[in-house]
Structure 1
Amino acid sequence: MRNWSGSDLKLRLTLRVAAAATLCFAVISGYFLFDSDRAVRARIAAVADIAARTLELQQNKIQWLNNPHTEFPDLDSVAASVMAPGLCLAFRSNGGEISQRFCGGAQTDTAAPPLAFAALYRRLFDPGREAVRPVMARGHAIGEAVVWVDPAVLTAEAWHDAGRLMAVLMIALPLLCALVYAALARALRPTLLIRDGLERIAAGDLAARLPPFDLAELSAIGDVFNQLAERLAAALSDRNALTQKLIVVQDEERRHLARELHDEFGQSLAAIRALAASARLTAIQDCPPLLAECDGIARTATDMMETLRGALFRLRPPDVDELGLAASLEGLIAGWNGRSRGQPRFEIVLSGSFARLPASVSANLYRIVQEALTNAAKHAGATRVVLRLEMREAPSGGDSEIALAIDDDGRPGNPQSDLQVTSGMGLLGMRERVAALGGRLSFEAGQPHGASLRVVVPVAAGAGAAPVERAA
Structure 2
Amino acid sequence: MMKSFSLQFKLNLTITLLLLGLLFTWAISVIKNAREDVLAEVESTTNLVIHLLDAQIAHYMTDFGWLDRSEKGEINIFKLEELMNIRHLKVDFLDPTGHLRESNRTTRLEHDGEDPPAWFVKLLDISSVLNEPKRKNIILNGRFIGELVITPDPSFELREIWEDTSGLLAIVGFFGLSVLFFVYLAVRTTFKPVKQIIHGLNQIEHGEYQSRLPSFEQIELREISDKFNKMASTLEQSIRNNHRLTQQIIHLQEEERKKLARDLHDEIGQYLTAVHIDASAMVAAKKLTVARESATAIAQITRQMMFTIQDLLARLRPRVLDELGLSLALAELIHHWHDRNRNIMVVNDISNHLMQPDESVAVTVYRIVQECLTNISKHAAASRVTIEVTDTDQGLYLLVEDDGRGFDTAVPSRGYGLAGMQERVEGLMGTMNITSTPGQGTRIEVRFHKTDKFQDIAS
Shorter-chain TM-score tier: 0.3 to 0.5
Larger Rg: 2
TM-score (norm 1): 0.40
TM-score (norm 2): 0.41
Q: Which has the higher contact order (CA 8 A, sep 6+)?
A: 1
